[in-house]
Homo-oligomer: A and B are copies of this chain.
């Protein structure tokens, strides 16, 4: 059994992720991270070399966690539509279970500078994209899907989810709605999944 002593390295990572999510990378100072984590400022550079090193480590851990989550879906002997529905369900669940991180990732992606970060995020997302791409392309080739603009459909699926995460009050205009409330989150998850599955079903399989 692990000792009860607090792991400062981990504390720094968690505090930094929280602060990066709330105030952005540039908007967060190493002193804030130190204060929030209860660690000394020097520990940040001791463990991670630099402030950017902390960010990179957060990304690496997250991406590793995500990568270990996929893979299985595409091998199943099920229809392309069923595959797509499962991917949507998994994708919505994952992102809406990590809204703060996803917001941060998206924010940093929209910065043209900081190419190391940009490439890392892009690589992480491209796995999902390729998975969806193969499923839809496969469905088109075997005739179960209409011929559509595949990359645009992917942009629609991912964009819809991102939009819900970043501006949930646009979807739920009630004033007391809160994405951190588990009950509200569950509701929006179910609505998002139902909507995207319905949308893709109708758009991809309706014979004109």
Contacts and interface: CB of A to CB of B under 8 A. Distances in A.
Q: How many copies does the complex hold?
A: 2
Contacts of A159: 156, 158-164
A170 B107 contact: no
A171 B191 contact: no
B170 A129 contact: yes
A104 to B, nearest CB: 8
Interface string A68-88: 000000000000000000000
- Chain A interface main SS type: helix
B163 A155 contact: yes
A47 interface: no
A67 interface: no
Nearest to A204: B202
Given A156-B156, A159-B160, A163-B162, A125 B26 contact: no
Given A22-B111, A24-B26, A111-B24, A151 B171 contact: yes
B163 A151 contact: no
Contacts of A199: 156, 199, 203
A41 interface: no
A161 B156 CA distance: 8
Interface string A183-208: 00000000110110011001100101
Given A110-B107, A166-B109, A202-B203, A152 B26 contact: no
Contacts of A166: 106, 109-110
Nearest to A202: B203
Contacts of A21: 112
Given A24-B26, A155-B170, A202-B202, 13 more contacts: A22-B112, A24-B24, A26-B27, A107-B111, A122-B167, A151-B170, A152-B171, A155-B163, A155-B164, A158-B159, A159-B160, A159-B161, A162-B162
